Chains A and B, each alone.
Chain A
């Protein structure tokens, strides 16, 4: 031990007077042993911990699919009120995987957002964008009303009052052989610009779209949308 503790001792074990030191040796056998035992322990731990972690985190990165599902003939719907239709969001789990969509035909007098092949039929998701309770379309008022905390949306699903942070989500729709089909859900901002599906409570106006980035798990939008 050097007298001055800040003075660096020689890196060579031979210079430090280690018994049995080899010429040019810098790592003592004790340090080598300690290091390899800790290294092997870390290797053994990560051999089970990393796959387990990946296993638990997998669904975050796995893209889900939303197949097109038919909700009825075009003639079943009109352009001045909504018709409720039950759609399956997650298959195989019974009622827990189903939700209601409110469907009507596009009405050029009301719907000012740009027209394309996916909004000839308007399908509004009933998931309230405050915290996810199911909203209900109230015919007399022509508004969507959430029972939980009083969120109110107008006829187009735009937020009119209460705590919701963005308009009601929508479904991509298409008409195939005279039948209306619903595809993946998407979220919209207050100008009805489309974004990939966000969870409720996540605004998409202003810095909201940066604070709540798109997820890896939401279904892909249909080609051309």
Chain B
């Protein structure tokens, strides 16, 4: 008897397994039965040792308010955009060479020679724009639905951090093709950063690893782009999702609570 009870999918009656006739389960278990049970057994084995099912149930089988609609999928969409960037980015890293003299050539190789290279690079390049657009739409949804209000302010703050990190990804990733546009865009971007009073010049030196765009600027941007910021984004998405699951989602603002559903004042 499996311990794990997940809601049964709504199968039509004809496809659901028939209950065994009385007296029929005394016979030996057929291999097919064992095979169907195998998956459940494995999941049970893991669950017995980790109690993960409680967490999965807590995360996935939540009650959502009436009126939940397609706008509520923008956050998940942004997360999947991030996952797509992470996966395509890992595979692009297998061919990319962050050296000032070879970066352009390696990008050219990915685009023109590597099998499916143009496709994977295209996914990463256009996906970055898609991610920024989705992040802003998600932010707009949260703002216009009032979903940033008590008790969800901290989740808004985490979301703003995620927005900044996404922009950092865009900025550092833009340099990596190392063509004229990347190079000059980075020069201009770092110089804008340098106009911050007092610490701006030192921050620019930190970004460039020196007073000029130098030998390690590209690898520095690459390390920030593929190691530092993705790790931070993943951790922040974890915190963001935890708070979503803990606090629940809001009803859309056009749904008014009925008077008999209003919370009663006890004092």
Residues on the A chain within 8 Å of B191, using CB: 131-132, 199-201
Q: How large is the interface on A (under 10, 10 to 19, 20 to 34, 35 or more residues)?
A: 20 to 34
Q: List, in ascending order, chain A residues with CB within 8 A of B213's CB.
A: 90, 96-97
Shortest Cβ distance from A26 into chain B, in angstroms? 39
- Residues in B whose Cβ lies below 8 Å from that of A197: 211
Shortest Cβ distance from B209 into A: residue: A59
| Docked-complex contact B197 and A89, CB < 8 angstroms | no
Which of these binds chain A: B51-59, B87-95, B119-127, B180-188? B180-188
**Is B116 on the interface with A (CB-CB < 8 A)?**
no
Q: Taking the nearest CB of chain A, how far is it from the CB of B106, in angstroms?
A: 14
If over half of A's interface residues share one DSSP class (helix, strand or loop), that class is named, otherwise mixed; here it is: loop
Q: Which of A97, A133, A215, A219 contacts B214 (CB 8 A)?
A: A97
Residues of A within 8 A of B183 (CB): 96
Give chain A residues whose Cβ lies under 8 Å from the Cβ of B206: 56-57, 59-60
Per the bound structure, the CA–CA distance linking A93 and B101 in Å amounts to 6
- A58 to B, closest residue via Cβ: B209
Residues on B with beta carbons closer than 8 Å to the beta carbon of A64: 210-212
Q: Which residue from chain B places its CB closest to the CB of A130 in the assembled complex?
A: B191
Closest-CB distance, B190 to chain A (whole angstroms): 8
Interface residue? A202 (CB, 8 A): yes
Q: Does A114 contact B (CB under 8 A)?
A: no
Q: Contact between B101 and A94 (Cβ–Cβ < 8 Å)?
A: yes
CB within 8 Å for A199 and B101 given contacts A60-B206, A92-B215: no
A148 vs B190: C-alpha distance when bound (angstroms): 15
Query: What is the CA–CA distance of A93 and B210 in the complex, to the nearest angstrom?
Result: 14
Q: Which 10 A-B residue pairings sit nearest by Cβ, starting from the closest?
A: A93-B100, A199-B194, A59-B209, A201-B195, A211-B197, A217-B211, A131-B188, A132-B187, A60-B205, A132-B191
30 contacts between A and B (CB under 8 A): A56-B206, A57-B206, A59-B206, A59-B208, A60-B206, A89-B212, A90-B213, A92-B215, A94-B100, A94-B101, A96-B100, A96-B183, A97-B215, A131-B191, A132-B188, A133-B187, A199-B190, A199-B200, A200-B191, A201-B191, A201-B192, A201-B194, A202-B194, A202-B195, A202-B200, A202-B201, A213-B201, A215-B211, A217-B211, A218-B211
Q: Which residues of B contact A (CB under 8 A)?
A: 100-101, 178, 183-184, 187-188, 190-192, 194-195, 197-198, 200-202, 204-206, 208-216
